[in-house]
Structure 1
Amino acid sequence: MNKIPSVDLRDFLSEDKDRKQKFINEIGNAYENIGFVALKGHFLDDELVDNLYAQIKKFFELPVDTKQKYEIPGIGGQRGYVSFGKESAKGKKEGDLKEFWHFGQYVENNPKLEEEYPHNVIVEELPEFNEVGKQTYKMLEKTARYVLRSLALHLGLEETYFDQYIFNGNSILRPIHYPPIQEEPKGAVRAAAHGDINLITLLMGAHGKGLQVQNHEGEWIDAIAQPDELMINVGDMLSRHSNNKLKSTIHRVVNPPKELWGTSRYSIPFFMHPVSEMKLDVLENCIDEEHPKQFEDITAGEFLNERLRELGLIK
């Protein structure tokens, strides 16, 4: 497979059983073969997207000392601002060439989770930034819910299997700014090759070259979405849970050609995480003689902490 398949969520949401099954087959096949799809028919409208980009640009243009005011110590970068070069991919010592912000869950009716999750950080200088971030979070979470329902059916599970685990889940919306490159990077790229930790990732802003996906032959292919599409990929949690039936694909963001070094790049992934108690034990119906159990039992919370330590975000 040398290009990313495109699917339309409206097929899954339609009352037509054949259209719904077509979507399940297409997304299931894509995730078994390359781990990425481009998705049309999601719940983000153009006005919300335009507002979000406008607010994000305003935030990242703030003076460095203003932004650093929102860098909260002791929470592993899970909320608020994370400054340039702080995060590196697993196994890499060079920090990625990016700065970013984290919006987290807006917990409903669960005091225990309100205690467990860090609070969202409010940017005083940009009141609209906080509101548009929350609206985007909700619409991406809604989109992800239906994608996971289609994958539940593909895996032979009850359609709403994932709903209980993602409601009030530990999901993160991460607006990223890759600043202009000032000098030849020494071994660093905008985002080094990595797999995502979570269940699925919904990516806004994959409209230009930069994002690349590694196919099963080890070749890097460009992943470019149309303006009305989200790029959605499988993360390591879902790969474990499905005994690697659904593939978590290695991907990276490469540096642009030298003539484009003076440009910023913005990208906005939504990392869909379940609640910490979710068991990621391999599903029984993903184990057979040809596919023995590949992974140890672990909860989502334990797995997340393990990976955040590897990334250097928590000690």
Structure 2
Amino acid sequence: MAVAETRDGVLDVPIIDISPFRTEGTEEDREAVARAADHAARTVGFMQVVGHGIPQGTLDAFTAAMDAFFAEDLAAKSAYRCPPGVNRGYTPPKSESLANSLGLVSAADLFEAFNVGTQASDFPGLALSEADYGTNIWPDTPGFRPAVEAWFAAAGRVARTMTRVFGRALGLGEDHLAGFTGHSVDVLRMINYRLPSVDAELEPEQVGMGAHTDYGIVTVLWADAVPGLEILDGEGRWHPVGPAPGALLVNLGDALARWTNDRWVSTLHRVAAPRVDGVLVPRRSAAFFHDGDVDAVIAPLPTCVDAEHPALYEPVTVGEHLRAKLAGSRGGALTEGADREAARLSR
């Protein structure tokens, strides 16, 4: 499993303007974007994306909707809780441990969340399973659904733009990865770090969200400009990363790392209990996961395998991969077969 690199102890998360892929950019401009993305994907697995085209008003309405829902009392929010096997609805604080998805035992994470995603009904005629494409449930919070649906659509456009950038960066053509994403399992996770009092004692090793890699192709992340997100480098050191003004953080998931035979990095990251000047503070984020078609086969691409770089992974479908990971993070079962990812935490 490839790891994030540092130069002179510094982790560089580059800023990339993707506007040439949103407009009729020149071939030269698009190629420059693809080269920059390839470098980021090989070295750190994260990038700051600007020129994404999402209006500020869309973000403002979305964050207001998040705030309104998470401000409700726990009993009201818990009415929208789903069973662990259903990746939709409300997740109370301390009910998940993301490190379980690496096969590791850890304290329960502090965050609470609300998930929506693509549904079987979004793809009529394909007879997709509700187990993979669950039906969304919507709280009665005024204005919540339209604001969240608008952000879901906007973040999805960014994710699909990034798959075009990545296809070009891999020399496969901008439309190549679209062949794996015609009925993609997409999930938007709205996250609130619902913390105890500012002077509370946390459990040993307890964090806002435990160490994990993302599971799919690409993640599009909006986050408050509050400390918390940290990336693990190849020496076992955690580096804080915050969003640049107006930027979205984009990172690669396990599926793309496996397709590229670890040429590209699915980076281990976590969210530390957010503190400013040593005091616990609120923090919000929203992660859009673009995971691929449930029946797409993840296996190293022929262009990423040769005598010097034999295939590192056995083929697995997106659905099989996601179900194993979610059984760990949401269901409490330690994920098997994540040895390559987990080994990085012991460096």
TM range (shorter): over 0.9
1:200-245 CA-to-partner distances (Å, cap 9, x unmatched) read: 1111015232111122333322211123100011111110111011
Correspondences of 1:62-73 after superposition (within 5 Å): 62-73=72-83
Shift of 1:254: 1.0
Residue in structure 2 matched with residue 30 of structure 1 by the alignment = 40
RMSD over aligned Cα, in angstroms?
Answer: 1.8
Is 1:230 matched up with 2:239?
Answer: no
SS at match of 2:117: coil
Separation of aligned partners in 2, 1:32 and 1:206: 26
Q: 2:149 is matched with which residue? A: 134
The residue identity in structure 2 corresponding to 1:45 is: P
- Bigger relative contact order (CA 8 A; separation at least 6): 2
Range with bigger deviation, 172-181 or 108-117: 108-117
Unaligned 5+ runs, structure 2? 1-5, 334-347
The one-letter code of the counterpart of 1:186 is E
Q: Which letter maps to 2:117?
A: G
Q: Against the structure 1 CA distance between its residues 195 and 3, is the aligned structure 2 distance closer, same or farther, given a 3 Å change threshold? A: same
Quickly say closer, same or farther: Cα 1:218–1:260, change in 2 above 3 A.
Answer: closer
Q: What is the match of residue 342 of structure 2?
A: none
Other-structure match for 2:118: 105
CA shift, 1:43, in A, is 3.4
1:6 equivalent in structure 2:
15
CA gap of 1:214–1:305, structure 2 versus 1, over 3 A, is same
Say whether the 8 Å CA contact 2:184–2:291 is kept in structure 1. yes
Give the secondary structure class of the aligned counterpart of 1:274: strand
- Of the candidates 288, 306, 313, which is equivalent to residue 324 of structure 2? 306
Offset at residue 314 of structure 1 (A): 7.0
Q: Name the counterpart of 1:284.
A: 302
Q: After superposition, where does 1:197-236 map in structure 2 within 5 Å?
A: 197-236=215-254
The number of residue pairs the alignment matches comes to 313
* Matched-pair contact (CA < 8 Å) for 2:48–2:250: yes
Q: Percent identity?
A: 27
2:138 is aligned with 1:122:
yes
Q: Out of 202, 212, 221, which is 1:185 matched to?
A: 202
Any gaps of 5 or more consecutive residues in structure 1? Answer: none
Q: In the TM superposition, what is the alpha-carbon distance from 1:83 to its structure 2 partner?
A: 0.8
State the SS of the aligned residue for 2:287: strand
On the 8 A contact 2:114/2:189 being kept in 1, the answer is yes
Distance 1:306 1:216, change over 3 A: same
Instruction: State the secondary structure of the residue aligned to 1:192.
Output: strand
Cα drift, residue 167 of structure 1: 3.0
Match in the other structure for 1:46: 56
CA contact (8 A) 1:210 1:222 kept: yes
> What is the TM-score of this pair, normalised by structure 1?
0.94
Instruction: Give the superposition deviation at 1:16.
Output: 1.0
Counterparts of 2:125 and 2:229 in 1: how far apart (Å)? 37
Amino acid at match of 2:16: V
Are 1:206 and 1:230, in contact at CA under 8 Å, matched by a contact in 2?
A: no
